[in-house]
Structure 1
């Protein structure tokens, strides 16, 4: 992240304080972390933001922030991700962590931040941006930023301990947990599963087979990317299981 200015100072018709738009630097990460806590009602470790914004093996993200004085009140960020289409690689980016402080909503900040971010991204030859907006930001992505709805992403959950689920009645909980143990998932006897990170050579061999699938556009992966994305530094407590 660089300290290059991306926009002019703005004001709203309601007489609210003026705010300016600029590219963020790594020095802004603590303020961005505080904004996340204000907007979403809960914080996340500062180390996670330092990992996300400072350690991406594909390069520094493009992050644009809005400021009222020295206070960070808005953010739009994209994360560099090489995209593979057949045998060709294109520079893309994932849109993430879009935030506007509640006191500054309705002032056009979302569109101003996104426009400045895309302008900076184009100078880095990023050709496509994709994202997974929540229900609050989805209308803005579609109407103001001209995103195309390609498909829905579905979440799948495997309950390991149904008795702990808040929607399971207390009287039914013991029976639900017993049912899971009585009906385990089918397994292939020829496969062996181990909780470990595969060696780099084994990971690259698997990815070579994955890259051979034609006609799909997806994020390019490597052993280095895999360890960065799901490693301990993310703070997400991912567990890798190798087959």
Structure 2
């Protein structure tokens, strides 16, 4: 199973020579960078690289410190390409406890895969990613997953040992149809009546929230209940799934400096039947709510009640649309039954890709890990559509 000495994977570890030496240069002029681990005092350099790659959408210094260089959550290392003192590429790997068909494993999540624009098409990305992969195996990861963007996805299609799953579907449901159509340019004389009929039906549906669903305030009283839910569902799911316990919830959502989240909890006496997390973003004249994570037992009404509570709150927050990237094929039907529909890619302008790799020493995971429905994923370092 997964493991490894936590002290051996500290972010500040100064060198990582073996993975670097094992990668062959991909351009004839040779390899002009070395591969090592990011130091904690290089967080501002990583933030500069993120801005160089993504502009205003790049990660903030506060986010990089919270997620990578000074994380109080899961153990994490950032593999970097160093070109004469300049960081030209990064690949972070975060190690989670998890389950595979009920058995305990260690899962590695790749995020923050970046190559400086001045160093692209020279083999930096490939070198850093494959070095990070070998490093993850050395540190005890049993499997890896990442959600690459459209630009890096073709590379993962070519990398040996990686398999690209079917794109995750994007499901969405209008919350204020009249306003949504108006934002998209429909004349008011037409969007108004359409919205009146649709919004009235939605308002009646959301008028009474499920009595068993509450919005999370203080996590402390529910720590043991969240941990019990994570253990129970992790072993029951039959998929590869990160342990979504109280520590995961705190690190992933409650202590995230870049996004604000609302966490809804389905209670049953002293136990928890599930949770659902939403956030709000403003894009293209639209206020969009996004379901970024959920976990629920297969009890009647548990997930349905969470969906209703999340959608109702999003509508009250002014969202015109609520969407979800289907990170698991498990029980997507309740979302469809509630009114979510698949959004064609041509309307989104991008794909939602997933690439996975299985540790060569864990051949017993190969069949489950290579299946499109073998994972209950968590989104990586982005919570935007």
The 2-side partners of 1:45 and 1:233 are apart by 11
The 2-side partners of 1:46 and 1:83 are apart by 29
Q: Report the equivalent of 1:134.
A: 149
- Shift in CA distance, 118/211, structure 1 to aligned 2, threshold 3 Å: closer
Out of 31, 39, 61, which is 1:25 matched to? 39
Out of 208, 226, 230, which is 2:253 matched to? 230
The 2-side partners of 1:189 and 1:160 are apart by 15
Q: Is the CA contact 1:86–1:214 (under 8 Å) kept in the aligned structure 2? A: yes
Which is strand-richer, 1 or 2? 2
The 1-side partners of 2:49 and 2:34 are apart by 16
Q: Report the equivalent of 1:123.
A: 138
Mean alpha-carbon deviation: is it higher for 208-217 or for 119-128? 208-217
SS at match of 1:241: strand
Is residue 207 from structure 1 mapped to residue 230 from structure 2 by the alignment? yes
Q: How many residues align?
A: 241
- CA-CA distance at 1:18 after TM superposition: 3.5
What are the Cα deviations for residues 216-240 of structure 1, in whole angstroms up to 9, with x where unaligned? 2111221111121111434211111
Mean alpha-carbon deviation: is it higher for 185-194 or for 125-134? 185-194
Q: Is the CA contact 2:98–2:105 (under 8 Å) kept in the aligned structure 1? A: yes
TM-score for the superposition, normalised by structure 1: 0.84
The 2-side partners of 1:73 and 1:64 are apart by 11
Q: Is the CA contact 1:86–1:213 (under 8 Å) kept in the aligned structure 2? A: yes
Out of 200, 218, 232, which is 1:182 matched to? 200
The 2-side partners of 1:28 and 1:66 are apart by 13
The 2-side partners of 1:140 and 1:71 are apart by 23
Q: Is the CA contact 1:3–1:23 (under 8 Å) kept in the aligned structure 2? A: yes
RMSD of aligned alpha carbons: 2.9
- Shift in CA distance, 189/67, structure 1 to aligned 2, threshold 3 Å: closer
The 2-side partners of 1:69 and 1:46 are apart by 23
The 1-side partners of 2:26 and 2:235 are apart by 52
The 1-side partners of 2:59 and 2:101 are apart by 37
Q: Is the CA contact 1:232–1:238 (under 8 Å) kept in the aligned structure 2? A: no
What are the Cα deviations for residues 160-209 of structure 1, in whole angstroms up to 9, with x where unaligned? 44525742435255445434421217468763433224521332343344
Q: Is the CA contact 1:48–1:233 (under 8 Å) kept in the aligned structure 2? A: yes
TM-score for the superposition, normalised by structure 2: 0.56
Unaligned 5+ segments in structure 1 are none
The 2-side partners of 1:26 and 1:72 are apart by 14
Runs of 4+ more than 4 Å apart: 10-15, 185-190
Is residue 193 from structure 1 mapped to residue 207 from structure 2 by the alignment? no
The 2-side partners of 1:29 and 1:58 are apart by 18
- Shift in CA distance, 194/71, structure 1 to aligned 2, threshold 3 Å: same
SS at match of 1:106: coil
- Shift in CA distance, 223/168, structure 1 to aligned 2, threshold 3 Å: farther
Q: Report the equivalent of 2:71.
A: 55
The 1-side partners of 2:161 and 2:95 are apart by 20
Is residue 4 from structure 1 mapped to residue 48 from structure 2 by the alignment? no
What are the Cα deviations for residues 114-137 of structure 1, in whole angstroms up to 9, with x where unaligned? 122123222211121111111111
Q: Report the equivalent of 1:220.
A: 243
